[in-house]
Amino acid sequence: MIKQAVILAAGQSSRFWPLNQKHKSLIEIMGKSLILHTIRALNKLGIKDIVVVQGQEKRIEEALKQYNLKIKFAVQKEPKSTGDAVWQARELLKKDKFLVLGPHKIDLSDYLSTVLKKAKGSNNKVILTGVKTETPWEYGIIKFKNNKATEIVENPKDGQEPSKIKATETYVLPYEFFDVYKKLPKKEDGLIDAINFLIKKNGAEVVILKKDTASLKYPWHLFNLLKIVFGQKGFKKHISSSAKIGKNVVLKGAVYIGNNSIIGENAVINGPCFIGDNCQVGVGSLIRGPVIFEREVVTGAFFEIKNSIVQKGTHFHSGYVGDSIIGKNCRFGAGFISANRRIDRGNIKTVVKKKKIDTKLTYLGIIVGDNSRFGIHCGTMPGILIGSNCNIGPGSVVFENIADNSNFITRFEKTINKHQ
């Protein structure tokens, strides 16, 4: 039986900008950080011996200490490879099999019990989880021979992939992993090299999943987590006894309203929606789920929002936000509009680390870091990323990404119709 796990929560989350002021595992969903969701899911499945590998700043440890969790922490001093992150946990583990996973696997209850059963009678075999993908060149792909896994091939060329089953970055490894890793050349793919060595020596078992697991490479992948949390059985309609619901409010579907939250009269909330503690929804506002408001989110009158995640303390006046992710303590002046579709209805592309990325989404509004402010009558084009601590001047329309700590304003010259 697997009783210990290593959660990898180091690294700089650079591809997760502009939501990377802290580690991406500390993003809150329904009042809990992603890593806390993951830890509690492990506990429910009987895994309570947990090592969290964090960065040198120890932000994960600081964020989790309020919960009195019985977990251990290892530090990866430099953001090297994933294999190096696992290596940091070696002295905190018992010399037995262990689970390795990311800190955002909030859907563990959907598949981990099957993995643990597979591991129970597999001795020193590696246990992999895999799922079908239509873009195998982007992932580590499992190679099979006679229906047995023989290795993981990283980012195979298009048309040369050994299968269409990608490894989903949840592994059961024998403690022997550390002996193998120590002897191999240290490089970016060191984790996969060590796993492939162990597969060739002891063999592997693969659990093929029916649907993909939670993944967070880019910030818009949070929309997948939105679907997961609202699809879980534990989410149900709830209205706190301390909440205040105005006259003629319409609540449809599964809507959670937290402690001391106020819903203004004539507001319409179509679930699934999570409204956290101490929120205020303005008179006549329309919320079209799935939507998550973390605590202390405020909207003005006649504000509309759909398919979005808003972190704690953010305030909106009036306007429209669609298919967007907003960080903590942001402020939006009256008349803000986020465009969330291209005119030609094509895929929305954005720039990450100076590289244009196809998000594969036809609906995507804005993604904003923490503590940014927008003046009145601002607008943004689809797929715009705006950093933390930015000031966007009144009347500005944003067509390109804006870096952290920027002041931005646009001015339009008056156009004169010469035919008048």
- pLDDT at residue 420 in the model: 44
Whole-number average pLDDT of the chain: 92
Residue of 96, 128, 106 lying closest to 32 (CA atoms): 106
- pLDDT at residue 256 in the model: 97
pLDDT of 419 above 50: no
- 420 or 160: which carries more pLDDT confidence? 160
pLDDT of 159 above 50: yes
Residue of 382, 375, 381, 384 lying closest to 409 (CA atoms): 375
Please write the tens of the pLDDT for every residue from 377-401. 999 999 999 999 999 999 999 999 9
CA gyration radius, the chain: 23
pLDDT of 416 above 70: no
- pLDDT at residue 325 in the model: 98
Percent of all residues in the chain with a pLDDT value above 90, rounded to a whole number: 71
Q: Which residues pair with 368 in a beta bridge?
A: 326, 386
Q: What is the mean pLDDT of residues 180-196?
A: 87
pLDDT of 279 above 50: yes
pLDDT of 13 above 90: no
Please write the tens of the pLDDT for every residue from 307-338. 999 999 999 999 999 999 999 999 999 999 99
pLDDT of 131 above 70: yes
Say which range, 98-107, 138-147, 183-192, 390-399, has the weakest mean pLDDT.
183-192
Are 22 and 115 contacting, i.e. CB atoms less than 8 angstroms apart? no
301 Cβ neighbours under 8 A, 6+ residues apart: 264, 282, 283, 284, 285, 318
- pLDDT at residue 263 in the model: 98
Q: What is the mean pLDDT of residues 141-151?
A: 91
pLDDT band, residue 187 (cuts 50/70/90): confident
- pLDDT at residue 270 in the model: 97
- Domains of the chain with bracketed CATH: 4-217 (3.90.550.10), 236-408 (2.160.10.10)
Are 319 and 334 contacting, i.e. CB atoms less than 8 angstroms apart? yes
Q: What is the mean pLDDT of residues 29-56?
A: 93
- pLDDT at residue 22 in the model: 87
- pLDDT at residue 158 in the model: 87
- pTM for the complete prediction? 0.89
pLDDT of 357 above 80: yes
- pLDDT at residue 115 in the model: 87
Measured between alpha carbons, how far is 301 from 315 in angstroms, rounded to an integer? 12
Q: What is the mean pLDDT of residues 239-246?
A: 97
Q: What is the mean pLDDT of residues 147-176?
A: 91
- pLDDT at residue 215 in the model: 80
Q: What is the mean pLDDT of residues 130-136?
A: 90
Residue of 30, 10, 7 lying closest to 20 (CA atoms): 10
pLDDT band, residue 413 (cuts 50/70/90): low
pLDDT of 121 above 80: no
